[in-house]
Amino acid sequence: MAYCTHCGREIHDHCVCLQGNPISKKAALFIYLLTAFVPMTIFIHVRSFSIWQVHYQIYGALSLSIVLIALTLLEVLAKSSYLALFFGCHQSVNRTIHLRSRPLPLCARCLGIYLGVFLSFFISLIHIFPFYVYLLLAIPLLIDGIGQKKKLWVSTNSRRFFTGLLFSNTLVFVYSLFYVFLISVMDSIYYL
């Protein structure tokens, strides 16, 4: 059997790692524009309605979920690693969860973040936490990542998945704040 030298997947599985099968510059630009304009469009349109008073994190989780669904569909149709490009995933097969003895396209941590974004949408519909809770949820990922980088321990896929799942709430929080800030700046420029 032949294996990809970059990610370790079997080549007959149609290896779609970013190093072995790079994405064209035009496709990457399209992906970046998609990830920038979908949330901006949602935030701008929602702001014009009275429902803007509903917490902005719901819209951030919704827009990020829509982006991830679009990237997933594009990845399935084009057989390219658009999700790995979005997450900056290394796609190493030994850090990937296997389903039916086949490695998933994202590493365990990125998969946890991916699934956690959808969960954070439903969580934000039920309850919005204070900002410090979202910052605390990033700490396990930081500890695990730094400890592994410094070779203090070897992390497991279940630990990577769980820390990614927790961190996804922080990602959605920061993502939402970024777009609220961006729209506030646009408003202040518009009303000058």
User: Could you tell me the pTM of the whole model?
Assistant: 0.84
pLDDT at 164: 96
Q: How far apart are CA 105 and CA 110, in angstroms?
A: 10
Sorting pLDDT into bands at 50, 70 and 90, what band is 36? confident
Residue indicated by tokens 């497991």: 156
Evaluate whether 117 touches 91 at the Cβ level (below 8 Å). no
Residues in Cβ contact with 165 at an 8 Å cutoff, skipping those fewer than 6 apart: 112, 113, 115, 116, 119
Q: What is the pLDDT of residues 86-140, one digit of tens each?
A: 898 888 888 888 888 888 889 999 999 999 999 999 998 898 888 899 999 999 9
In a 13 Å sphere around the CA of 62, the CA atoms on its Cβ side amount to: 13
Residue boundaries of the structural domains of the chain: 26-190
The DSSP element (H or E) to which 98 belongs, if any, is strand 98-99
Written as six digits, the tokens of 160 are 């990577």
Evaluate whether 154 touches 102 at the Cβ level (below 8 Å). no
